[in-house]
Structure 1
Amino acid sequence: MSADWVEHAIWWHVYPLGFVGAHPADPAPTADEHRLRRLVDWLDHARELGASGLALGPVFASRTHGYDTTDHYRIDPRLGDDDDFDLLITEAKSRGLRVLLDGVFNHVGTDFARFRDGDSAWFRQRGHDFEMFEGHDGLVALNHDNAEVVDYVADVMAHWLRRGVDGWRLDAAYAVSPRFWRTVLPRVRDQFPDAWFLGEVIHGDYAGIVKASTFDSVTQYELWKAIWSSLNDGNFFELDHALRRHDEFVETFVPLTFVGNHDVTRIASQLDDTRHVEHALALLFTIAGTPSVYAGDEWAYRGVKEERFGGDDAVRPEFPARPQDATPLGHDEFRLHQHLIGLRRRHPWLYSATTTALTLANEQYVYRVSHGDDALVVALNIADEPLRITLSEWGIRDGVVVAGSGMPGADRIASLEVEPHGWAIVAP
């Protein structure tokens, strides 16, 4: 059972090493530059957006991108030191922002002390060779059957929860036996019952994985893919199928939902028609889940992930030291994020709502999202012709347009025409 606060959580997700210009960087910044403190000056931006939490990428000592950890108890010196971290936590809490850390516990870097000291029992082996994570040189897979590894991971989690964080994203959780998580997480929860644990899972039996591992949630990659590909392909049947699956997941757990993160092409670059970014956001904020906004997406930042060395750099750029020094590419996108997050705040039941298709065609989709007696009707049109809606078709007498590509009106309406490549949200 997730902590109650998660029902109201909306994350602003940051990849710190890229955000503060610590990686890639030549020369790399040193601890006395206190780069992590830059994030403090962005916390008001996150709150203005409407976020209630800061989801951080790796912050622990590593050699390169943060996922080749060398010391889970030490802040990466390229970011700063313990005092910088404590300041960030204090400032976040003073603004009512929760903090989520990125726990890389499937693998470590080759500078990790146990590996450097030749303690082979801590690492998985294939024959005479150490197993590397998904073929990446420098990422040595931990042996999760080793009781010392279990103790180590549980202690690391508890250490930073004591330091003020609220939960953990568990990197590459899909590559670790659920048995390991089922052993570690209850030990941590015994000390921190209000903590939240999110497993990074790409595909598979999400509900089964949550149950076997005791995660609170997993990353909803199925829905992420269905959102952008259905908009690109003009195939809302794919989206509807994904939402049927999503409803099934919500019966067991509430997934983390997103249209962008540090590992994927930004949504403004992913969509063939940028008009449809609005449709993606309307979906994100009107379906069940714990939404996450990747830093920069609220300003329509662009960036394409490439499968090569350094291929993540474009989606993990450096940000200016202060928001007022940034050059927003999309003022309208920022305001739309604010409006839709505000809408979600006024309808907190959306956290665990279910969806029902009312109109389903390749390029036109209307769904009812509801929980108990509460409901909204969402109309998405990516066709070149208008979408005409008569609410009485679905037993709804009338409603008010509360958001959409057109100017919402105050009058109650019984019918609606959604413009080509437009969208609307109606409160019955």
Structure 2
Amino acid sequence: MGRIRTPVGTREPERSNMQSVFDSRDPRYKDPFGALPTGKSADLTLRPPRSMGFSGGAAVARSEFSGGVMEYPLVWTGMEGTCDVFSGKLPAGKTPDLIWYCFRFFRSDGSIRYFGAGGWRKKAPEEFQLTVYEETGTSPDWFGQGVTYQIFPDRFFAALPVVTSGFVGKRRLHGGWEEEPDYLPDENGEIRNDDFFGGNLRGILRKLDYLKTLSVETIYLNPVFEAASNHRYDTADYTRIDPMLGTEEDFRILCREAGQRGMRVILDGVFSHTGSRSVYFNAGGGYPSLGASDSMDSPYYGWYRFESWPEKYSSWWGIKTLPQVNEMAPSYLDYILTGNNSILRRWLRAGAAGWRLDVADELPDAFLELLRKAAKEEKPDAVILGEVWEDASNKVSYGLRRRYLLGKELDGVTDYPFRDALLLFLGGGRAEEFRERMETLREHYPPSAFYSAMNFLGNHDTPRVLTLLGAGEDLSGAPRSQRAEFRLSEAERLRGGRMLKLAALLMYAFPGSPTIYYGDEAGLEGFEDPFNRRPFPWGKEEKELQSWFGKLGRLRTLRPSLRRGDLEYRAARGPLLAISRRLGGEETVAAVNVGAEPAVLALPWAKETAEDALSGEALPVRDGKVSVLLSPWGGICLTE
């Protein structure tokens, strides 16, 4: 696992006024950087001005989960210029935790001042965060190194024949692959998501060689189990591949054939709720067995929370077709996780390499711990990823601070903060802000979690990135008919494509797995669901964009520095952002200029040669430096 380095003296302007006292990201003040394993300590050094007259100090540490508050002495060790130097240690403790810390200084007259993340205060200030995690050694290092490709199965490719019967729910099969997904409410005012295009597992199998041209190493499938809707987040039967997608044998073949091409397949685990039209709930009586809505004697009755059986029950976000489950019900735990033939184990045995967990915020910490334990017992290198939209190290969900990244639950998360920061930068933000947001994450996350992030530009829950970048706005509030008909103009498409190429360059250069949402590389457009779930445009791909993603994928595959190297910011000022990845003697630098004016970037360069790996252009190296001229909305990938 790579170490991440940030050059001294490149912090944000708002931090600079505090740096001379303490900078939690600088090893001269706190060493080691970032999160700490249990049982370790951080060395602290503070440099308050001599004029403040302090005679002593202490680090004040508050433990989130144990609830204790401890003070650790800071000892005067001398002077540096006009500053006193106080040093001490901050122990991580023996159990995983979040430690919130600040500093208390006192004078000989008894007066005190506090120093925290917001600077000097007379009372307790804003605290710094220290994540204390358990080093279990069970997070696989394969995920995060290579490219991930996300597939919404119904819309990727339909290999003939398409199954048209034998499944739950009424379905409408589109007559043409290029038709618009249904987006208007039915006669009852509901959007049922019951229109299908017929994409299937055999279709994905047929396109494995295409995925290989993109250097894909992980295929992430949106739900594949039997369900009534086209998105299949309303699971009807966890034991059965949806018949329109294929069979369990088709899934096994897909995993095997993918493996022969160096790819792994991970599944979408939807365990916080089921579908109402499921074998477990059985609203409408679609299954011959007794579901929870049929009888209180149903073996599944205890899975659900009924306020008044059978009509009133807890459902996900109030959507009655998605009844929530009691995840900690013993029979549910046995069925999904802990039993010898549990759903989790069954599909890992069938060939899955791991699970991406839908709405991880809805799943109790105890459930996630049992899930991880069962997965690692079954397949030690299985990866467990969680859908989390915020900083996962300190997320509060339903009033509880979550423990996702403390070593017993998730290996990594969906990196929405990365997407948000990158799109903000491309939309006119400053490189300093992008770096600040990402530095906050890497300071908070254990290294294995930071390197196991699922980095993406868009997915099935967000508008298509090309549309956002090209249009320059999100029309989510516009009438659905307007959003359905919207297409980028030629000028907007050119603009969006140029920006998307730079976004992809940065994503592929960043730690974590660069994740392509199917069709983004081919130029698919669309705002939010269902317009972001249009069928893949086979035969009408944006070839230049597709080639760009293919080239980035090959670089990610061939260069170890991009797969697991250290991270360093070479430049972050205004519209100019340059990041370096280094491993051993190999260095790769990705630099972009999102401004309207050319920008010159001069970098120290230890090698005798330099080349832009994207264009093949050789760049002169003189006196140990390489000078790069970046055109407006231009980018390079600098290699030796």
TM-score, structure 2 length as denominator? 0.60
The aligned residue for residue 358 of structure 1 is 570
Change (3 A) 1:74 1:180: same
- The structure 2 residue matched to 1:132, chosen from 303, 315, 321, is 315
What is the Cα deviation at residue 224 of structure 1? 0.9
The aligned residue for residue 639 of structure 2 is 427
The aligned residue for residue 314 of structure 1 is 531
The aligned residue for residue 179 of structure 1 is 366
What secondary structure sits across from 2:253 in the alignment? Answer: helix
Q: Which has the higher contact order (CA 8 A, sep 6+)?
A: 1
- The separation in 2 between residues aligned to 1:143 and 1:149, in whole angstroms, is 8
What secondary structure sits across from 1:369 in the alignment? Answer: strand
- The separation in 1 between residues aligned to 2:526 and 2:213, in whole angstroms, is 24
- The separation in 2 between residues aligned to 1:234 and 1:24, in whole angstroms, is 47
What is the Cα deviation at residue 172 of structure 1? 1.0
What secondary structure sits across from 1:138 in the alignment? Answer: coil
Change (3 A) 1:359 1:349: closer
Change (3 A) 1:11 1:159: same
- The structure 1 residue matched to 2:456, chosen from 258, 271, 293, is 258
Asked whether 1:40 is paired with 2:249, we answer no
- The separation in 2 between residues aligned to 1:34 and 1:396, in whole angstroms, is 50
What is the Cα deviation at residue 335 of structure 1? 1.4
Q: For residues 157-186 of structure 1, what are the alpha-carbon distances to aligned partners after superposition, in whole Å with 9 as ceiling and x for unaligned?
A: 110111111111111112111211102220
Computing the radius of gyration from Cα coordinates, the structure with the larger value is 2
What is the Cα deviation at residue 407 of structure 1? 5.3
- Specify the code of the residue in structure 2 equivalent to 1:266: R
- The structure 1 residue matched to 2:355, chosen from 160, 165, 168, is 168
- The separation in 1 between residues aligned to 2:154 and 2:387, in whole angstroms, is 19
- State whether residues 198 and 216 of structure 1, in contact with CA within 8 Å, keep that contact through their aligned partners in structure 2: yes
Asked whether 1:389 is paired with 2:389, we answer no
- The structure 1 residue matched to 2:540, chosen from 327, 334, 355, is 327
- Specify the code of the residue in structure 2 equivalent to 1:138: T
- Specify the code of the residue in structure 2 equivalent to 1:287: F
Q: For residues 63-93 of structure 1, what are the alpha-carbon distances to aligned partners after superposition, in whole Å with 9 as ceiling and x for unaligned?
A: 1120000100101122222333233233323
Asked whether 1:239 is paired with 2:425, we answer no
Q: For residues 107-154 of structure 1, what are the alpha-carbon distances to aligned partners after superposition, in whole Å with 9 as ceiling and x for unaligned?
A: 100022232322432024568742211232311111012121111112
Q: For residues 241-289 of structure 1, what are the alpha-carbon distances to aligned partners after superposition, in whole Å with 9 as ceiling and x for unaligned?
A: 2221343325241211111222211211121342211110111111100
- The structure 2 residue matched to 1:123, chosen from 288, 291, 304, is 304
- The structure 2 residue matched to 1:56, chosen from 221, 228, 235, is 221
- The structure 1 residue matched to 2:334, chosen from 151, 155, 160, is 151
What is the Cα deviation at residue 410 of structure 1? 6.2
- Specify the code of the residue in structure 2 equivalent to 1:175: E
What secondary structure sits across from 1:109 in the alignment? Answer: coil
Q: For residues 343-380 of structure 1, what are the alpha-carbon distances to aligned partners after superposition, in whole Å with 9 as ceiling and x for unaligned?
A: 12222243444433333222222233335654333221
What secondary structure sits across from 1:211 in the alignment? Answer: coil
- State whether residues 179 and 213 of structure 1, in contact with CA within 8 Å, keep that contact through their aligned partners in structure 2: no
The aligned residue for residue 309 of structure 1 is none
- The structure 2 residue matched to 1:409, chosen from 618, 635, 638, is 618
- The structure 1 residue matched to 2:243, chosen from 40, 64, 77, is 77
Structure with the largest fraction of helix: 1
- Specify the code of the residue in structure 2 equivalent to 1:316: R
The aligned residue for residue 288 of structure 1 is 511
Change (3 A) 1:354 1:303: farther
Change (3 A) 1:172 1:250: same
- Specify the code of the residue in structure 2 equivalent to 1:385: E
- The separation in 2 between residues aligned to 1:366 and 1:151, in whole angstroms, is 49
Asked whether 1:108 is paired with 2:293, we answer no
Once the two structures are overlaid, the 10-residue window that deviates more, 415-424 or 211-220, is 211-220
What secondary structure sits across from 1:417 in the alignment? Answer: strand
What is the Cα deviation at residue 188 of structure 1? 2.6
What secondary structure sits across from 2:356 in the alignment? Answer: strand
What secondary structure sits across from 1:107 in the alignment? Answer: coil
- The structure 2 residue matched to 1:16, chosen from 144, 148, 153, is 153
The aligned residue for residue 308 of structure 1 is none
Aligned residues: CA RMSD:
2.8
Q: For residues 170-210 of structure 1, what are the alpha-carbon distances to aligned partners after superposition, in whole Å with 9 as ceiling and x for unaligned?
A: 11112111211102220231121121111111114337422
Structure with the largest fraction of strand: 2
Once the two structures are overlaid, the 10-residue window that deviates more, 12-21 or 33-42, is 33-42
The aligned residue for residue 264 of structure 2 is 98
The aligned residue for residue 387 of structure 2 is 200
Change (3 A) 1:277 1:27: closer
- State whether residues 34 and 81 of structure 1, in contact with CA within 8 Å, keep that contact through their aligned partners in structure 2: no
- State whether residues 593 and 635 of structure 2, in contact with CA within 8 Å, keep that contact through their aligned partners in structure 1: yes
Change (3 A) 1:134 1:391: same
Change (3 A) 1:391 1:96: closer
- State whether residues 525 and 532 of structure 2, in contact with CA within 8 Å, keep that contact through their aligned partners in structure 1: yes
What is the Cα deviation at residue 100 of structure 1? 0.9
- The separation in 1 between residues aligned to 2:262 and 2:390, in whole angstroms, is 33
- Specify the code of the residue in structure 2 equivalent to 1:276: M
- What is the number of residues matched between the two proteins? 413
What is the Cα deviation at residue 384 of structure 1? 1.2
What secondary structure sits across from 1:377 in the alignment? Answer: strand
Change (3 A) 1:183 1:346: same
The aligned residue for residue 400 of structure 1 is 610
What secondary structure sits across from 1:233 in the alignment? Answer: coil
